């Protein structure tokens, strides 16, 4: 097997990873209306639908923000564990399929638990 055959897909992936963001920035620069840049509202900071709030740096945030961030990390890492399972799926047969079902059931039980506890219910803040 030639080294070109091995590294060509990696080269194409790197080329796409560089070309797509630059292409999007170029399209934004070409297609965006330039007259709106002088508007004060467009240059203000904006986050989560709230306007700028003047407060102290020691202001406390509700714990719910941190809980949701930790839950996102946990579920994101669990999804990352699916990649090795997907790679080895063809070698494992039905046994690997059983592992996948058990893993997804455990993931679903955890997800249903946090929904039942109301962790993702933002109306209680």
Region 67-77: mean pLDDT is 83
Q: Given a cut of 60, is residue 100 above it in pLDDT?
A: yes
Predicted confidence (pLDDT) per residue in 33-60, tens digit? 765 556 666 666 665 655 555 666 677 7
Q: Look over the chain and give the mean of its residue pLDDT values, rounded to a whole number.
A: 79
Per-residue pLDDT tens over the stretch 82-92: 888 877 777 77
The number of domains in the chain is 1
CB 117 within 8 A of CB 103: no
Range of the domain at 106: 3-124
Q: Which two tokens stand for residue 113?
A: 């638990």
Q: Are the C-beta atoms of 103 and 81 separated by less than 8 Å?
A: yes
pLDDT confidence of residue 111: 86
Range with the lowest mean pLDDT among 36-40, 79-83, 116-120? 36-40
CATH code of the domain covering residue 27: 1.20.58
Q: To which residue do tokens 């997804």 refer?
A: 104
% of the chain beyond a pLDDT of 90: 15
Question: What pTM does this model have?
Answer: 0.44
Distance from C-alpha of 105 to C-alpha of 96, rounded to nearest angstrom: 14
Locate 87 and state its tokens: 């790679």
CA distances from 111 to 17, 68, 71, 105 (A): 33, 12, 9, 10
Q: What are the tokens at 5?
A: 């055959």
């Amino acid at each position: 097997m030639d080294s070109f055959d091995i590294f060509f897909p990696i080269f194409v992936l790197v080329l796409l990873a560089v070309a797509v963001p630059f292409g999007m920035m170029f399209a934004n620069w070409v297609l965006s209306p330039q007259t709106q840049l002088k508007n004060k509202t467009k240059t203000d900071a904006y986050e989560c639908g709230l306007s700028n709030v003047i407060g102290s740096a020691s202001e406390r945030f509700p714990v719910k923000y941190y809980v949701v961030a930790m839950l996102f990390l946990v579920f994101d890492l669990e999804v990352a564990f699916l990649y090795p399972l997907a790679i080895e799926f063809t070698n494992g047969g039905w046994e690997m399929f059983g592992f996948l079902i058990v893993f997804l059931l455990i993931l679903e039980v955890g997800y249903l638990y946090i929904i039942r506890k109301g962790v993702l219910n933002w109306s209680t803040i």
